[in-house]
Structure 1
Amino acid sequence: MKIRNKLYFSFFAVVLVPVLIVGIYLTVELKRMALNNAIDQNTANVERVKKRTSDMLKVAYDISYRLYNDHRLSQLATHRYDSIYSVVKSYKSYPDFREYEDLYKEVSGIRLYFDNPTLLNNWEFLQPNADIEGKFWYERAMKTNGLIAWNYIEDDRNGQYNLSLIRRLDFTEDNAKGVLVININSALLNGILNQETFETMIVDEYDNIVAANRPGRVGKTLVDAHFDKNIADRSTGTFNAVVDGRKSRILIEGWNPTDSLNGLRIISVFSVDSIVHEPNRIIRLAVVVISSSILIALLLIYGFSSLLTGRLLRLSKQFSRVASGKLDAALPIDGRDEIGQLSRQFNAMVGRIHELIMEVQDTNAQKSLLEKRQSEIKFRMMASQINPHFLFNTLESIRMKAVLHKEAEIARVVRLLGKLMRQSIEAGHSHVPLASEIDVVKCYLDIQKFRYGERLSYELAIDPRAESIPLPALIIQPLVENAVIHGLENKEEGVTVRVDAEWREDGVHIRVTDDGAGMTAERVDELDAHLRERDEDEEEETGRIGLRNVHMRMKLSYGPEYGLHIESEPERGTRIYFVIPHQPGGGIVHVQRTDRG
């Protein structure tokens, strides 16, 4: 990289990157602070609305409490009248409903539903008809023991909807019962919400919007207002959602007024874009200022780098002359800075060049000697392997301990492991009888069955005529190992591995099959291509003897026409097939195998 480019890179690394990191951090932090402040303000607004609304609803609760214990109201409602005159006279003697409405602006209407045929229906005392008695709020009030319910219901006198207090009144005379309904002043309730900055709503238990500071919301449900149903069903909490196509934050606060059967919820919504609008404006201004500063800095760096690189280029030309063998090159001293100092040192360097060459030669000789010594050390380290007989004797000691403690299964597996390791290490012979190879396979499968239990089962079907035929050592066991590992990989119910050896005229046909998950045709083609790659590294990274190792040894033993063949179908298992020809010294294997997993 040229000096000029390094200066540019240093500028980006030292100035631009930190500025970007700080800018991104400040941007995120500024937006986060704005959102947190908005959430805090929103929470305070909701608490203020909750308090003011609770004070308003408490007025209706106090009125209902007085009427619940009003003996005069009980006498008026339960008395059996003999004339219209007496009814009118009783109504005039009980002006409490109208007085409460005039005295408390929080209440817009009071009415009592009572089943007394001698009463006259007016705006205050009403006979419940079948339609009223079928309303959900009336039925629930008659079933509850004086508890208050708050619902957004229709006033059957004028057809308007109001948030209403609904309560059953129990009269002592004749154990009579009536339903008291007190309407809350909707205009006053909406006025409380209109003082809030964010969109705020009061919702009843059936998601009816009873009050809101946004026009067109009152009377609708949350579903009508396009609220996510998963959020509309929540009783409390803060949520992120998209409202009216804008990313928004929703705060839900629920509360149960005094002695209430049900509760109300206050929902406040604010747009995230509206909150981060001012931080975004500040960020845009900061980007303009920072970009201008960076541009000016780049121009200054360009001018400085041009002066610096010009002097360096002259120095580079003299170095090139020396590199080409012209040791008589002399560089005039230029300046008193580092470049000038380098020029003076250049002249002294040329005079010592021959000495340096000799030093390099000596260094190379020492390096060669060191590498030779290192190779000898590596060879000695490789030669100092642990005697495998020590491991066999240790396994035999473990097995004897298991036998003494009557752990027959552990003793059997340790014996099989020792036998498997001994046979594997002693497999230095080029060819072994098929019976010996099957013995190794059986030891391996017994050990794996001890490990996996009922998940693994196996079958061995060996033609007795084929047991004496020679074949390369450790040629079947890697295939069985591959079938066990990949067969059990994605199959919880287990897998069955089968090894078949059949005597035929052209040789001994050997198959290794499993009923695992199988492979797709594309995977089989990929595996076949891997077997035929001209790569000397046929060992897998896991340290196990891989399929490519077996394939290459078969071809080297019996010729290029022999090798492994693989067949597989998804969910139908895998088959590896190979043939050992009737030849002295062994046979070749064609394997077809399909992995289920």
Structure 2
Amino acid sequence: MRFMRRLNDIRLKSKLSLIFITVAVLPLLVSGIYLTSKLREVMILNAFEQATNNVERVQKRTEEVINVSIDISYQLSNDNRMKSIVSRSYESYNEIIQTYRQYTDIRDYMRLYKEIKSIRLYTDNPTMLNNWEFMQPDDRTKESDWFKSALSQKGLAGWGYIEDERDQKHYLSLVRKINLDNLKDESVLVINVNSDLLNSILSQETFSTMIVDDNNHIVAANRPDLYGKNLASVHGGSNMMSQTQGSYEAVMDGKKSKVVIANVTPQNSWNGFRIISVFTVSDILQDANAIIRLATLVIGGCLIIAIVLVYISASFIARRLLRLSKHMSRVGTVSWDTYLDLDGKDEIGQLSRQFNDLVHRISELMFEVEESNQQKQLLLQKQNDIKFKMLASQVNPHFLFNTLESIRMEAHLRGEEGLAQAVWQLSMLLRNSLEVGSRQIPLSDELNMVRCYLELQKFRYEDRLQYSMEIDPETEQIEIPPLIIQPLVENSIVHGLDRKEGPTLITIRTKFNDQDMLLIEIHDDGAGISPMKMSQLEKQLTGSDESGDRIGLRNVNDRLELTYGTASRLTINSIEKKGTCITFCIPKEGRTLCFQ
């Protein structure tokens, strides 16, 4: 309770900032520290796995390279021709030179296999000449450890970091004793492995990787500064110097490092060499540390921005509450015209709207009598307006219909059945025209209006006007815009019948075409339209000028086009003195392209 009391005493801005720091900043810091430590562990583990895979890959590639030297050594150790060359005694230089020229196997091996650098055979035959392939061992060579070891191992292969007399460079070399017929203990075969090839294999590795012989000489490495050195000179530590297989911790170049070692012992060899991959922990974590530093800066910047935004938001909320408090104080001084304008749909906005409603209701109660009087006056004024409109609308369409009905009954009583029928047709036509609105009507209703119109015109033209309606019963319930066919029929009478001598037949057809659309056709055999008039008519239908004597056609065409699109516009075909045919299509479902 004491904590809650102290918390309630803190200002709102400080309270929101404190809550944000407690629920956002502290968990973010804890999770960041934990994830950072896990990231370091994962990166070291991934680097260790990568180093192990690299060592295995280098081991396989290296074995492929040295197996070439082993295979060549086996073939030369069983080469009787070579043995006879180095065992015989020569009487002249020409004989030696001729023999060397004829024996090309060693040169062929060096040409065919890029894995070897050179091949030489040391043999104690004073009659032979040194040609870098067959050589006399000097005292220094005879006293070397590798030469003595090769003679003592009875045909097993050995591997060492041996200097080549030709270029005074050291190579990883295979040494092996060759048993001859006469000089059994004094012939040693040396095959130098191509160091450039070994270095190229190692150069593809990410971590520091090297090949070390059993005397800790670095015979190949992907770092040029390590090649040719002794492992002890790089401060590898006791584990790196003595261990043959596994992973260890060591210090290399003064840095804490992880070491992965794989031992390679070729077949039928008395010794081998090791492949060592080293990665320093600081180098592995360098990228991670950079990412962590960048993430720390980004997160820190975001937290600072978030704290500022929280503080600004808290200030905005406090300012809105303060405005609400001031308006409440004004209402307390009986100021009913106050209005609080606080945007938003949150609780403060809702509270402000409720406050405004409350003030408004109180204000309504205070001025109830005055508003009641104003409403009574307004009601009286509206009643007077209604009375005036009722008096002005007493003459309505019903008066016209009743008058026409009285004329029809009088004509019927006098025996004028044609006149009575014409009056009835006119009454029906007017009634239907007045009842037509903007909604669509069934095709059958439109045809009834057209039939009334034609019957009324027959009363005028008598036998000069004939009409035929060929209606597909399935089309009668399709809804179409009102007064869409009657203007076309009227056009056929005015421009077809009136301009022709003799009777005229008007035919109205409805059916479904091949596209399953309602096809409506109005055909007459009247006067037709001349080509010049036809050209003017097409311009009137497609242009914006509504002048001319075809306004009804233009109105129908525009309504069809606005309702159903350009595909439903009027199509007019006419031959002068033979007649005119007007057609248009309406979708079967009666779908429209715009609102009615």
TM-score interval for Structure 1 and Structure 2 normalised by the shorter chain:
0.3 to 0.5
Point out the structure with max Rg over C-alpha: 2
Q: TM-score, normalized by length of structure 1?
A: 0.48
TM-score (norm 2): 0.48
